[in-house]
Amino acid sequence: METPALPRRLALTAGCHQLINWGISFYMPGTFALAISADRGWSSPQIYLGLTLAMLVMAAASPFVAHLLERFGGQRVVMSGTLLIAAGCAGMAYTQTLFGWYCVWLITGIGMRLSLYDALFAALVNLYGQQARRTISRVTLAGGLASAVFWPLGDGLLHLMSWQEALRVYALFGLLSAALIRSLPRQRLTVTTKVTAPTLRNERRNGWLYAAFIALFTFVSSGTSTHLPEFIASFGLPVTIGILWGIGQTGARSLEVLAGARLTPFKLTLFTALAMPLCFLIGLSSTRFAWCAAGFVLGFGAINGLMTIVKANLPLELFSVESYARRTGMLLIPGQLTAAASPFACAWLNKTLGIAGTMWVSTGLTLVIAGLAIAIVRRPGRQTVTHCIQRTTQTNGYKTPPQANITDT
């Protein structure tokens, strides 16, 4: 089976699709929570619990994504997920109770798992194999702008209309996003010759290391980003410093795209993981030098941006292309669970140890993350399995005769 050529406009349309999907789902509560709380009387934790439930649903749905992609194709799966997010936005606008709010978020969580980065990247790898790497990087470049675009957009809408009407506008954006993903081919993953290869010890080892690496990073990243305004305010700096997070994220991804093939997934993994402890040491220095807090926000934003690319491209070095969707679907479950738990865990740590104490705990975890990255890069042990139809070797236009049954002498 020959790998099709990548459409030139796919990176742009898929990038805009991800920008919208992240903006109207994951980043929506950050803009709408205060307005919803004032109108409904729900507390902020009650509102954000909806997003936590959605992330738990994402983890529960992960094992089924590879099968859905194989059966229905990337376009149908990702488009269906996008439409579920759009339906979720519309449903939130009409819900009157917390129970209804949580039920709508459960539906939205299914849509998020079927249409955000992980599912889209699996669909791209199924279609284009190793060619998908650069497209993945370009898609994350656009998707990383979601908070920078939709936070002010949502705030502007709330100044013009009620939060219910603004959510209906978000639902319309979801329909636009579904139309954009039509540029993804409808081709399903087909395996013409099924090759059953033994599971190598290295591949199993790589799976455990990758899952632990992503889970620990996601815990640190989600907890840090959730409580970032609190961290900034504790040093007497304006919360608007948080914009440096988006600048660092987009800037780092831009540099990665410009670096091209010179920056391999292994090099990027090692660089990103080793930069994390240094970044948190800068953050700990904020107790003496307040400007270090701004440097930490910028630096960790850059690390967070690069890690999205690492999470998508590293499995292409560790496992075969054919098993990408199945393996990532299972190995990302721990990371999705830690992403759901980390905001509450970090809130408890902040209350118990203070912000500085939480930073020290996070710094210790970054050392473990760096150690896991070194272990992954030192002995990758990738297993390569081809799934194409076996071709007959030819030399000068003639078929090679079958090998004679003669032992070597």
Measured CA to CA, the distance from residue 117 to residue 18 in angstroms comes to 7
Query: pLDDT tens, 153-168?
Result: 998 999 999 999 999 9
Q: Would you say residue 192 lies in a domain?
A: no
Q: Would you say residue 409 lies in a domain?
A: no
127 and 163: one domain?
yes
180 and 42: one domain?
yes
Least confidently predicted of 70-74, 339-343, 401-405: 401-405
Q: What domain range is 342 assigned to?
A: 198-382
pLDDT, residue 2, reads 57
Q: Would you say residue 387 lies in a domain?
A: no
**Report field, pTM of the whole predicted structure over 0.85:** no
CB of 172 within 8 A of CB of 101?
A: no
Measured CA to CA, the distance from residue 126 to residue 4 in angstroms comes to 11
Least confidently predicted of 197-206, 211-220, 363-372: 197-206
Give the count of domains, the chain. Answer: 2
Domain termination residue (choose one: 186, 219, 248): 186
Positive or negative torsion for Cα 10, 12, 13, 16: positive
Query: pLDDT tens, 77-133?
Result: 999 999 999 999 999 999 999 999 999 999 999 999 999 998 999 899 888 887 888
Which residues, 6+ apart, have CB-to-CB distance to 111 below 8 Å? 25, 80, 81, 82, 83, 84, 85, 86, 87, 88
**Is the confidence at residue 399, as pLDDT, over 50?**
no
Q: Would you say residue 403 lies in a domain?
A: no
